[in-house]
């Protein structure tokens, strides 16, 4: 290829890059492998997850996925499909996306959904930028986050929106309940343009969303809800929070039929009220009729940088997670409202059992008193890292260590159980944790 192009080397091909910006080597990157060697490496790495019990949660959840979901999603007509720009050739894909949007609006209680965003974290960034554009009564770029917002989401949102001048501040945490402390909320300085609530919170606790929603709107802010779609089968939809409901909802769609897959790919959910839909990024499919009166589907409100001047676009993140959306649509169709509710209730039940077993062990206690969904925070009498290492040696991924992002909570561990965890799995975890704690009393 270099010969055809007329370049003698890769270096010559990219000679427009200034020499002082070139990187000579990359630390930790191994020598190139052949296709056969790469295939074997990836299979070996995938096999490392076999037989491991995962209790981590923290934004990515292991749920049972019916075999039919990916048998259908990986058919050629779905698997290789990209953005359906040509409506006349993409009616199947467009209808799938339209059905997905309908399901998401039903779950969130909001008017319009897009399809889709890169992931839940970038979804929060997009939601805050959208709030700045939509809240025309405010000139503020100050965003207030409830205490239980995922720290990773906050970091990603800060990184993406930094050039736009947005600032993020966290509301006070009630250390006893593990929820936002309503008694200490006050505005010092400029009112916020948006307030963000995560329900369930990152700690698994259930926030007082009605009071928080009303407070946010009293400040003249738009309300952004970060939601777990599985929880919406049993919890109040964000569109119904407080007197006016959330203005925007976002979150991670991975629980809806997407496997953990060592970190991705996932997809971001977003829905909003109709009055601010023109500020919503992402692709939106609308239903219409053709000249003969037959129903059909097409992309609409395409204010993305592919369709409009970059400076006028609602988003410059172009990724369309259409395959993940397809899987989620099939998953929700197969389970239906009652099936999704059963998944949610079983997950709550198993987490409650797990929390009871683990907190009965000496040196372990529940950190918070507020009701929770399918995650719970435990406080241990020692450092979390060595305990997790001991559990991993027994093929148990014991949870998420909170001490890096939340050192003020002490030695705390976030654990999660879903409907995939049997009573025997819970007992195995409890036995392994008791053994880890009995082995030696490490210093905190």
Confidence tier at 222 by pLDDT (50, 70, 90) = very high
Is residue 443's pLDDT more than 60? Answer: no
pLDDT band at 430 (very low <50, low <70, confident <90, very high): very high
CATH number belonging to the domain at 53-61+336-439, selected among 3.90.1150.10, 1.10.760.10, 3.30.70.1400, 3.40.50.300: 3.90.1150.10
Please report, rounded to a whole number, the percentage of residues in the chain having pLDDT higher than 90.
Answer: 79
pLDDT greater than 70 at residue 43? yes
Confidence label for 307 from pLDDT (cuts 50, 70 and 90) = low
d(CA 63, CA 66): 10
Query: How far apart, in whole angstroms, are the C-alpha atoms of residue 374 and residue 348?
Result: 5
Residue 104 and residue 153: Cα distance in Å, rounded? 21
Confidence of residue 396 (pLDDT cuts 50, 70, 90): very high
Residue-level pLDDT at 305: 57
What pTM value is reported for the model? 0.91
CA dist 360 and 256 (Å) reads 33
The average confidence (pLDDT) of the chain is: 93
Q: What is the structure's pLDDT at 176?
A: 97
Backbone angles phi, psi at 282, to 5 degrees: 90, 175
Domain ranges of the chain: 53-61+336-439, 67-331
In this predicted structure, what is the pLDDT of residue 28?
86
pLDDT digits (tens, 9 = 90+) for 323-351: 999 999 999 999 999 999 999 999 999 99
Architecture of domain 67-331: 3-Layer(aba) Sandwich (3.40)
Reply yes or no on whether the pLDDT at 306 is more than 80. Answer: no
* 3-state class percentages of the chain: helix first, strand second, coil last, to nearest 5: 40, 15, 45
Q: Give the pLDDT confidence score for residue 261 in this predicted structure.
A: 85
pLDDT digits (tens, 9 = 90+) for 46-78: 888 888 999 999 999 999 999 999 999 999 888
């Amino acid at each position: 290829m270099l010969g055809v192009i007329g370049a003698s080397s890769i270096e010559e091909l990219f000679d427009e890059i200034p020499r002082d910006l070139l990187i000579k080597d990359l630390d930790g990157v191994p020598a190139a492998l052949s296709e056969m060697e790469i295939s074997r490496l990836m299979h070996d790495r995938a096999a490392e997850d076999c037989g491991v019990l995962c209790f981590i949660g923290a934004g990515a959840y292991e749920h049972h996925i019916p075999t039919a979901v990916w048998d259908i999603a990986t058919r050629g007509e779905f698997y290789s499909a990209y953005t359906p720009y040509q409506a006349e050739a993409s009616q199947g894909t467009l209808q799938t996306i339209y059905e997905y949007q309908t399901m998401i609006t039903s779950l969130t209680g909001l008017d319009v959904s897009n399809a889709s965003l890169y992931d839940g974290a970038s979804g929060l960034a997009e939601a805050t930028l959208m709030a700045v554009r939509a809240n025309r009564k405010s000139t503020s770029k100050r965003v207030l986050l409830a205490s239980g917002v995922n720290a990773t989401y906050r970091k990603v949102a800060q990184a993406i929106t930094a050039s736009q001048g947005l600032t993020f501040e966290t509301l006070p945490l009630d250390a006893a309940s593990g929820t936002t402390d309503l008694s200490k909320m006050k505005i010092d300085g400029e009112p916020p343009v948006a307030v963000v609530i995560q329900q369930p919170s990152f700690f698994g606790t259930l926030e007082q969303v009605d009071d928080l929603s009303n407070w946010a709107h009293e400040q003249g802010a738009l309300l952004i809800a970060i939601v777990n779609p599985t929880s919406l089968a049993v919890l109040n939809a964000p569109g119904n929070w407080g007197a006016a409901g959330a203005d925007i909802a976002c979150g991670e769609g991975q629980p809806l039929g997407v496997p953990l897959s060592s970190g991705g790919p996932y997809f971001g959910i977003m829905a909003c009220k109709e009055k601010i839909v023109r500020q919503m990024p992402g692709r939106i499919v609308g239903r219409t009729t053709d000249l003969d009166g037959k129903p059909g589907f097409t992309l609409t409100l395409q204010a993305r940088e592919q369709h409009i001047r970059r400076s006028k676009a609602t988003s410059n993140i172009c990724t369309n997670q259409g395959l993940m959306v397809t899987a989620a649509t099939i998953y929700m169709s197969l389970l239906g409202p009652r099936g999704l509710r059963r998944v949610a209730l079983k997950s709550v039940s198993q987490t409650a059992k797990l929390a009871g077993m683990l907190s009965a062990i000496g040196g372990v206690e529940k950190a918070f008193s507020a009701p929770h969904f399918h995650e719970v925070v435990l406080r241990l009498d020692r450092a979390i890292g060595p305990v997790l290492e001991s559990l991993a040696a027994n093929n148990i991924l014991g949870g998420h260590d909170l001490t890096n992002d939340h050192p003020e909570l002490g030695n705390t561990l976030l654990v999660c159980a879903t409907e995939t965890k049997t009573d025997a799995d819970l007992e195995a975890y409890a036995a392994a944790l008791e053994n880890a704690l009995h082995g030696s009393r490490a210093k905190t």
